């Protein structure tokens, strides 16, 4: 598939990140008549900064209400930011809005179509909206790419949910942007469609499109993204290559109940060993030890505790996973 038409899109010559966000802040206006804490309005983004490397599939991961859509909608020009700056393909979203918009295609979280347009018309209208010259339009090609060629002339309202989502992806690609953003593309869709969308995203990325996708599914980010930023309550709490995030999940936790208060031993540095990543004193003579399972075994950890003069009364262990990393980072019990 041809991605860029003619010389319409200037090169990202400065070799900037595809998207660059600095201290992005959004406080929504309070509801009318709000009092107390509500009177200030909701702080949806509390000063977020990160860059999306060109050519990556970048995951913006966070629970519902984290601020993902707010961030995407600011990039899309649908929400006005309160403070901060953002560049898309090197173009400032305030001062160079037109070029910034041309560099990005956005698949919104909500599906909205005029039900009386056909997929072909949806794409042609969008091309018209972006001023893509007739000779450079590629509606047929896009319908082919999202496997909707046979639905070319069907009314949008007759399409299944999955078809509508695929049509939205095609619509976002009409002006051949170098960056595609998908806001929760697979929320509430079945496994089969999820696979299809993942494949489509992978193909587009292989052809050179930088992809940003928001999701609250850990497995989705893990499967698809080469870099993951985690956002929670409007704050960025991690931004790492996926592999490194998963490495963090290499850690295993063992919880040991011992016969006497371990606080003194902890104070004297008994748990500050290179093979213990973290220790935490819990109630009831319990201590939680986080270690790298590649370095030591649970048995060795217990030997270590016993060597310090404790009798081990109870032990529980479990594998940590990306979910643990997430909980660890968000500090939430959720």
Interface ranges with ligand ADP (CB under 6 A): 28, 42, 44, 62, 64-70
Which tokens in the block code for residue 328?
């660890």
**Of 131 and 331, which has the nearer Cβ to ligand ADP?**
331
Q: Which is nearer to ligand ADP, 65 or 162 (CB)?
A: 65
Pick between residue 5 and residue 28 the one whose CB is nearest to ligand ADP.
Answer: 28
The interface partner of residue 17, options being Mg ion, ligand ADP, none and the CB cut-off 5 to 8 Å by kind, is none
Helix/strand/coil (H, E, C) string of the chain?
Answer: CCCCCCCCCCCCCCCCCCEEEEEEEEECCCCCCCCHHHHHCCEEEEEEEEEECCCCEEEEECCCCCCHHHHHHHHHCCCCCCEEEEEECCEECCCCHHHHHHCEEEECCCCCCCCCCCHHHHHHHHHHHCCCCHHHCCHHHHHHHCCCHHHCCCCHHHCCHHHHHHHHHHHHCCCCCCEEEEECCCCCCCHHHHHHHHHHHHHHHHCCCEEEEEECCHHHHHHHCCEEEEEECCEEEEEEEHHHHHHHCCEEEEEEEECCCCHHHHHCCCCCCCCEEEEEEECCCEEEEEEECCCCCHHHHHHHHHHCCCCEEEEEEEECCHHHHHHHHHCCCC
Cβ proximity to Mg ion, 127 vs 182, nearer residue: 182
Angstrom distance (rounded) from CA 172 to CA 167: 9
Q: How far is the CB of 65 from ligand ADP (least distance, A)?
A: 4
CB of 48 to ligand ADP, least distance (A): 11
- From the list ligand ADP, Mg ion, none, pick the one residue 65 interacts with, judged by a Cβ distance below 5 to 8 Å according to partner type: ligand ADP
Residue nearest to Mg ion (CB): 69
Minimum distance from CB of 326 to ligand ADP (Å)?
A: 14
- Given the DSSP bridges, would you call strands 57-61 and 210-215 parallel, antiparallel or unpaired? parallel
Residue 234 beta carbon to Mg ion: minimum distance, rounded to whole angstroms? 13
Q: Which does 285 bind (CB under 5 to 8 A by kind): ligand ADP, Mg ion, none?
A: none
Q: What phi and psi, each to the nearest 5 degrees, are found at residue 94?
A: -90, -50
Q: Enumerate binding residues for Mg ion (CB under 5 A).
A: 68-69, 109
- Residue number with CB closer to ligand ADP (53 or 63): 63
Minimal distance in Å, beta carbon 39 to ligand ADP?
Answer: 13
- Between 49 and 109, name the residue whose CB sits nearer to Mg ion: 109
d(CA 72, CA 63): 15
* Minimum CB distance to ligand ADP smaller for 55 or for 65: 65
Closest distance to Mg ion from the beta carbon of 181 (Å): 12
Per partner kind, with CB cut-offs from 5 to 8 A, the member of Mg ion, ligand ADP, none near residue 28 is ligand ADP
The minimum distance between CB 187 and Mg ion, in angstroms, equals: 8
Select 35 or 64, whichever has its Cβ closest to ligand ADP: 64
* The two three-digit tokens of residue 182, written as one number: 């998908």
Nearest to 187 by CA among 216, 222, 159, 225: 216
Q: Which does 62 bind (CB under 5 to 8 A by kind): ligand ADP, Mg ion, none?
A: ligand ADP
Q: Which does 178 bind (CB under 5 to 8 A by kind): Mg ion, ligand ADP, none?
A: none
Minimum CB separation from ligand ADP for residue 95, in Å? 24
CB-side exposure of 175: number of CA atoms within 13 Å? Answer: 23
Q: Could you tell which of Mg ion, ligand ADP, none binds residue 80, using a CB distance below 5 to 8 A set by kind?
A: none
Compute the least distance from the CB of residue 177 to Mg ion, in Å: 21
- Between 55 and 65, name the residue whose CB sits nearer to Mg ion: 65
Of Mg ion, ligand ADP, none, which one does residue 126 interact with (CB within 5 to 8 Å by kind)? none
């Amino acid at each position: 598939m041809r991605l860029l038409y003619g010389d319409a899109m200037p090169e990202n010559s400065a070799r900037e990140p595809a998207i660059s966000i600095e201290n992005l802040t959004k406080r929504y206006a309070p509801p009318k008549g709000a009092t107390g804490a509500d009177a200030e309005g909701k702080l949806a983004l509390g000063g977020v900064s990160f860059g999306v490397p060109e050519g990556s599939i970048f995951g913006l991961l966070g629970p519902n209400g984290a601020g993902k859509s707010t961030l995407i909608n600011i990039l899309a020009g649908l929400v006005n930011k309160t403070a901060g700056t953002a560049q898309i393909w090197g173009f400032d979203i305030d001062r160079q809005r037109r070029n910034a918009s041309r560099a990005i295609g956005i698949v919104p979280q909500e599906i909205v179509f005029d039900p009386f347009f056909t997929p072909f018309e949806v794409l042609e209208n969008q091309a018209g909206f972006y001023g893509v010259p007739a000779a450079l339009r590629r509606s047929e090609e896009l319908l082919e790419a999202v496997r909707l060629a046979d639905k070319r002339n069907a009314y949008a309202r007759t399409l299944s949910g999955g078809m509508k989502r695929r049509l939205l992806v095609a619509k976002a690609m009409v002006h051949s942007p170098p960056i595609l953003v998908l806001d929760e593309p697979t929320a509430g869709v079945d496994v089969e469609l999820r696979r299809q969308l993942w494949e489509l995203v992978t193909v587009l990325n292989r052809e050179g499109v930088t992809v940003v996708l928001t999701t609250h599914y850990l497995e989705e980010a893990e499967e698809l993204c080469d870099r993951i930023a985690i956002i929670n309550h409007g704050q960025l709490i991690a931004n790492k290559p996926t592999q490194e995030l998963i490495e963090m999940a290499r850690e295993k936790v063992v919880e040991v109940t011992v016969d006497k208060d371990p606080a003194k031993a902890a104070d004297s540095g008994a748990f500050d060993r290179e093979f213990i990543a973290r220790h935490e004193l819990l109630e009831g003579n319990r201590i939680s030890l986080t270690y790298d399972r590649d370095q030591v075994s649970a048995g060795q950890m217990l030997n270590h505790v016993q060597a310090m003069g404790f009798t081990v009364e109870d032990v529980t262990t479990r594998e940590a996973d990306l979910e643990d990393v997430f909980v660890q980072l968000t500090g939430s019990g959720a």
